[in-house]
Structure 1
Amino acid sequence: MNFAAVRAFVAVAEKGQFSIAGDQLGVTQQAVSKRIAALESFLGAALFERVASGAVLTADGQRFLPRAKAVLLAVDQAVESVRRESRPLRVDVLSRRLAPAEILRDFYRANKAIDIEIVTTTGGADEVIRGLLDGEIDAGLRYLRQPVNRIDPQLAQAFAYFEPMQIVVSDQHPLAGRTSVQPGVLRPFKAWVPGIVSGSEWAEFYEDFAHAFTLDIDSTGPNFGTESLLDSIADSRSMLTFFGDRTRAAWPQRLARIPLAGPTPVYPWSVVWHTGNQHPGLREFVTHLRQSFTPPARGEVWLPNHMASLAR
């Protein structure tokens, strides 16, 4: 089987157009068409149906796609296994300001001989899983709503960090003098968390959190970024927002950052990886996270119901 043809097939399947796939592969549209035609001839099946917008997979194409991706991943891993110089360990951390970046920083401080490439895609777990299956990244840190081996048996996961949630209020807020706050105490106040993407993992987390403690969490309004949000909170005597304890930000002086306790809501970050990945730094990274993770005592923290059973 011609691997160039298989790569062309996967590119067209993902992009939906021969011309865009050609741009990605660095070849002409005609070259892509020839490779697809040769692959279809080899397989004895049509893989695409040509439509006005480009190309869509046939039933045979849909069956072939996951196997084609697996073949390409295996080929790429075989090539990497004999290269003299290993490429950096590519880890998706979502954002350099969030806890996953700090988790990766902790690992690097303890393992400076391992070269690391920080990847910051803005999507959720689905995008990380796609990157793992396509061989674009070696590991990712995300909130996982279901066991990843249900999606692909070669994917694995482990809890990396249960991030304690905190509230951020102005120094004029009624809660500003507290050293800690129980979640139920927040009921009279409006919590503003702009930028929550509908259907995302963090949207589900906040929905479950609000339901569990009968909270008013407002996600409306434009998201102008962290600094703008904190300025708005600093100017309000009644509004609050939520931050994780390892979220990095430039803090205005007029703010108070108060831990939640009794119980402490935690955002469950997990590491996910492909078990067939032979990168020499991946095993050390996963081992480091497993050894660093300490499950909290039951009753001390709050987790969404479906997560609580997995954390026991």
Structure 2
Amino acid sequence: MDLDAVRTFVAAADAGQFQDASAALSITQQAVSKRIAALEKDLQVRLFTRTARGARLTIDGQAFLPHARELLRVEARADASVRPGRRALRIDVHSRRTAPAVLLQDFHRTYPQIELDVVTLDADVHAATAAVEAGTIDATFHAVPVPARQLPAAIRTARVIDEHHEVLVGPRHPLANARAVTPAQLAEHRIWMPGMAAGTEWAAYYDELATAFGLTIDLVGPVFGNEALLAEIADSAELATLAGERTRYLWPDSYDLRRIPVRDPAPIYPMSLIWRDDNRHPALSRLRDYLGSNRMDTPDEKVWLPAYPV
């Protein structure tokens, strides 16, 4: 059905005059007549009775009018669902517990008028970048382990998060009362991170971290979820795990878990925002500016970075 003809029908019904409808639509009166005639032919009914005073809806016209209005409302909603600035900005965070999700929530508090659609694709950097390239999402957060020249031509990246580490231990662990620990100290303890997917950029990062400092990162064991992991660590005098300093975990007070900063040097997990350079959603540029202005630099701190960040 020709929605321009439907729009013209509604305008004529509201105005009661084809001449007034033509003025409202900025088209000629002849164009109004032609559109109405085409719609009547398509529907095989008369919608108006022409009189000396203008145009009066027939019974069929009265029956069609509420449906015509709904068609125009649906058209407007469909347009708004994809038009930049009207639809929600769709961002992948991989996990709702980690630093990107925390920063997005802060961004939303700062700009509550910007509608966000936060998704978790559970994908590595390559699959997430492919989703950005395909337009499935507007942007994603990931470590980028390859040079920019190896990315698809339309893809752009900017490093926006340098995530520090904390070691998470139970109250009986030898490090439980430490105010900070060094990577060298961690080399004496078992770091338990079960279920880390091989071949991902985060697995590559922890492999490099373990090699650099002689860490023992144990991936063995079934994955029963974060709640079970925290319960095991709380009950153990040997187990520890690594977490980003802005990663959100909740546990019962009785666990008495300790989050201890890793320093001297501080291992940094670098994450970038990944987007298409031809994406014109105005909220995307606002998000990029926000992330750039809120990136935390620690120029005086001794840090360790993997060899691959771009």
Same fold (TM over 0.5): yes
Give runs of aligned pairs for residues 28-67 of structure 1, distance below 5 A: none
Matched residue, 1:304: 306
Q: In 1, are the aligned partners of 2:133 and 2:154 still within 8 Å (CA)?
A: no
1:87, 1:122 → 2: CA distance?
Answer: 23
Give runs of aligned pairs for residues 68-83 of structure 1, distance below 5 A: 83=83
Question: How far is the alpha carbon of 1:223 from its aligned partner?
Answer: 1.1
Give runs of aligned pairs for residues 264-279 of structure 1, distance below 5 A: 264-279=266-281
Q: In 2, are the aligned partners of 1:149 and 1:155 still within 8 Å (CA)?
A: no
1:140, 1:166 → 2: CA distance?
Answer: 24
SS where residue 162 of structure 2 aligns? strand
For 1:172, the aligned partner's letter is R
Task: Say whether 1:93 aligns with 2:117.
Answer: no
Question: How far is the alpha carbon of 1:295 from its aligned partner?
Answer: 3.4
2:270, 2:230 → 1: CA distance?
Answer: 24
Give runs of aligned pairs for residues 1-312 of structure 1, distance below 5 A: 83=83, 86-252=86-252, 253-297=255-299, 300-307=302-309, 310=310
2:159, 2:280 → 1: CA distance?
Answer: 21
For structure 1, the residue ranges without an aligned partner over 5 or more in a row are 1-78
Matched residue, 1:39: none
Higher radius of gyration, 1 or 2: 2
Summarize deviations over 1:49-86 as a string: whole Å, max 9, x none: xxxxxxxxxxxxxxxxxxxxxxxxxxxxxx87994971
Question: How far is the alpha carbon of 1:135 from its aligned partner?
Answer: 0.8
SS where residue 305 of structure 1 aligns? coil
SS where residue 250 of structure 2 aligns? coil
1:264, 1:82 → 2: CA distance?
Answer: 43
Question: How far is the alpha carbon of 1:93 from its aligned partner?
Answer: 0.4
For 1:135, the aligned partner's letter is G
Question: How far is the alpha carbon of 1:294 from its aligned partner?
Answer: 3.6
Question: How far is the alpha carbon of 1:287 from its aligned partner?
Answer: 1.1
Residues 85, 165 of structure 1: alpha-carbon distance in 2 compared, 3 angstrom cutoff: closer
1:291, 1:227 → 2: CA distance?
Answer: 34
Question: How far is the alpha carbon of 1:140 from its aligned partner?
Answer: 0.5
Q: In 1, are the aligned partners of 2:84 and 2:281 still within 8 Å (CA)?
A: no
Q: After the TM superposition, which of the residue ranges 140-149 and 112-121 deviates more from structure 2? A: 140-149
Q: What TM-score does the superposition give when structure 1 sets the normalisation length?
A: 0.70
For 1:122, the aligned partner's letter is D
Question: How far is the alpha carbon of 1:189 from its aligned partner?
Answer: 1.1
For structure 2, the residue ranges without an aligned partner over 5 or more in a row are 1-78
Query: Structure 1 stretches (4+) deviating beyond 3 angstroms?
Result: 79-85
Residues 87, 218 of structure 1: alpha-carbon distance in 2 compared, 3 angstrom cutoff: same
1:218, 1:110 → 2: CA distance?
Answer: 40
SS where residue 206 of structure 1 aligns? helix
Question: How far is the alpha carbon of 1:285 from its aligned partner?
Answer: 0.7
Matched residue, 2:58: none
Q: In 1, are the aligned partners of 2:230 and 2:251 still within 8 Å (CA)?
A: yes
Residues 83, 206 of structure 1: alpha-carbon distance in 2 compared, 3 angstrom cutoff: closer
Q: In 1, are the aligned partners of 2:84 and 2:282 still within 8 Å (CA)?
A: no
2:230, 2:132 → 1: CA distance?
Answer: 35
